[in-house]
Structure 1
Amino acid sequence: MLEPSTYLIMALIGVLTGFIDSIAGGGGLIMMPALLMTGITPIQALGTNKLQSMFGTSIATANYYRKGLFDIRPSLGKVALVFVGASAGVLAVQQLKPGMLGLIIPVLLMASAAYVLLSPRMTDEDAHVRLSARAYGPVGGAIGFYDGFFGPGTGSFFSTSLVALRGMGLTRATALTKLLNLTSNVASVLFFAIGGKIVWTLGFAIAGGAMIGNYLGSHTAMKFGAKVIRPLLVTLSLGLTAKLLWQYFSA
């Protein structure tokens, strides 16, 4: 049984991670260590993180949708593949040890940070489309699998790939990222719940904070656009990369 103060502290952390997630993604690498410090098991931490993230992301998704920054109908194919990928990822992580991701994830995050830093296309202007919406589907499905399997950094992977491959402006890419992230969260919660891997009371407490953070963060992103999204993506990617590399080589 957790102390009442633990729920309050975790809810406040939820505000912070929700704010970060709604703009750049990657809040899970702050939330996951915090969840583990409460004493729950790693697999419960993954499931509980998905529960709070689902509620928080739904707020940001609704805000972006109301502003007309993405359309649901043209995105249904990507949504379906992300759902399938995330479901497969959750099933896989319940069978495998995720320790092998310790070196792969920093490489992916460094690639995201390098792209954001070096590419002149990380702006709010739409650019040349390298992949059609249909061709991007498998990419989204693969990122969905990663989100179901582990998760942190998923928002960064979605947004940078949508800019690089679909030619979207950064704010529009961030908005569509929330829809895809919400999809993978719903799939993950469903299968983690079936496996009995969610601490519901803790997840709901954090969800309250995450919803506040996502509301504030999504409005900040829509107001300032790439001027705030790009620096936060770079800072977060580099910071999380350093953190994961330190954890990997100090283990």
Structure 2
Amino acid sequence: MDFADWTALLVAATAAGWVDAVVGGGGLIVLPTLFLVAPGIAPQTALGTNKMAAVAGTSASAITFARKVPVRWRILVPAAVIAAVAAGVGAAAVSLIDRELFIPIVMVVLVGVAIFVTLRPSIGITMATHPPTRRKVILVVGLAAGLIGFYDGLIGPGTGTFLIITFATVLGTEFVRAAAMAKVINCGSNVGALIYFGATGHILFALGAAMAVGNVAGAVAGSRMALRKGAEFVRVVLLVVVIGMVIRLGWQQFA
């Protein structure tokens, strides 16, 4: 790769870090760019290299959010461990499962998310009138970590989006706080997938390290903007990213 290719990847990683910090979905920016500048790269290597950058970005984002938003570490840290294990299993299943079967399902879910958020403008804007019990929070967060963590290892893009939507709709969590929760769990799922891809030799470490710098810069900027502008801003970005994911996955499936 030449200087222009490295520059394109750094810009893509920075943009992905910003998007991931606000609503998730940064993989839809980085992965196509990787395949564009390195058309011969194996899918597993592209995923593994992206995860190296994503781990740095989600960690920086989680720390930035935690400084301003109350985080229930006793619930989220164990959930992050669950997500790590689930993502590792998902990454191992990449070669065993036809991932193309999942794309239409994911597209339908994303369309449903966009319609739901559009028709229910109050979702994620204010906290629930009756906060959920601790038991319900543990159950929802644990299940989300396992199921969405597996998806992260298997497919990836949109993990943070699905986590935010789950917490906002099921727990009645405000979008900014839901984003903070999502970053902790997403960090765990990224680590789990990264460990698997690293153990199987599917990481370009020099490229991943360079992309991590841009991803961290974008993640910190995105987290600070989400905290400053609030839930309505996150809602708008969420809708834009969800629509973008549907278009991108549709093109990938039917082009």
State the TM-score bracket (shorter-chain normalisation): over 0.9
Aligned-residue CA RMSD (Å): 1.7
Distance in 1 (CA, whole Å) between partners of 2:220 and 2:211 is 14
Is residue 148–residue 188 contact of structure 1 (8 Å, CA) maintained in 2? yes
Is residue 82–residue 141 contact of structure 1 (8 Å, CA) maintained in 2? yes
Residue 201 of structure 2 corresponds to 196
Distance in 1 (CA, whole Å) between partners of 2:111 and 2:76 is 28
Residue 232 of structure 2 corresponds to 227
Post-superposition shift, 1:177?
0.6
Post-superposition shift, 1:125?
1.9
Task: Please list every run of 5 or more consecutive structure 1 residues that lacks an aligned counterpart in the other structure.
Answer: none
Post-superposition shift, 1:85?
1.3
Post-superposition shift, 1:4?
3.3
Post-superposition shift, 1:119?
1.9
Residue 32 of structure 1 corresponds to 31
Is residue 60–residue 215 contact of structure 1 (8 Å, CA) maintained in 2? yes
Letter aligned with residue 204 of structure 2 = V
Residue 174 of structure 1 corresponds to 179
Distance in 1 (CA, whole Å) between partners of 2:70 and 2:248 is 33
Give CA deviations for 1:48-103 in whole Å, capped at 9, x if unaligned. 11111111111111101111331312323322321221111111114334222231
1:97-136 to 2 correspondence within 5 Å?
97-127=98-128, 128=130, 129=132, 132-136=136-140
Give CA deviations for 1:145-189 in whole Å, capped at 9, x if unaligned. 000111101111000000111221111001111101111001111
Residue 18 of structure 1 corresponds to 17
Distance in 2 (CA, whole Å) between partners of 1:25 and 1:33 is 16
Distance in 2 (CA, whole Å) between partners of 1:200 and 1:97 is 27
Is residue 69–residue 177 contact of structure 2 (8 Å, CA) maintained in 1? no
Letter aligned with residue 138 of structure 2 = R
Is residue 25–residue 154 contact of structure 1 (8 Å, CA) maintained in 2? yes
Residue 74 of structure 2 corresponds to 73
Is residue 17–residue 222 contact of structure 2 (8 Å, CA) maintained in 1? yes
Distance in 1 (CA, whole Å) between partners of 2:119 and 2:205 is 42
- Please give the TM-score of this superposition, normalised by the length of structure 2: 0.92
Letter aligned with residue 200 of structure 1 = F
- Please give the TM-score of this superposition, normalised by the length of structure 1: 0.93
Q: What secondary structure is seen at the aligned counterpart in 2 of 1:6? A: helix
Q: What secondary structure is seen at the aligned counterpart in 2 of 1:126? A: coil
Distance in 1 (CA, whole Å) between partners of 2:121 and 2:82 is 29
1:227-246 to 2 correspondence within 5 Å?
227-246=232-251
Give CA deviations for 1:86-125 in whole Å, capped at 9, x if unaligned. 1111111143342222312211221222222122442342
Distance in 1 (CA, whole Å) between partners of 2:16 and 2:212 is 11
Residue 3 of structure 2 corresponds to 4
Q: What secondary structure is seen at the aligned counterpart in 1 of 2:218? A: helix
Aligned length: 249
Is residue 110–residue 242 contact of structure 2 (8 Å, CA) maintained in 1? yes
Percent of aligned positions that are identical: 33
Is residue 112–residue 156 contact of structure 1 (8 Å, CA) maintained in 2? no
More displaced, 182-191 or 97-106? 97-106
Is residue 123–residue 172 contact of structure 2 (8 Å, CA) maintained in 1? no
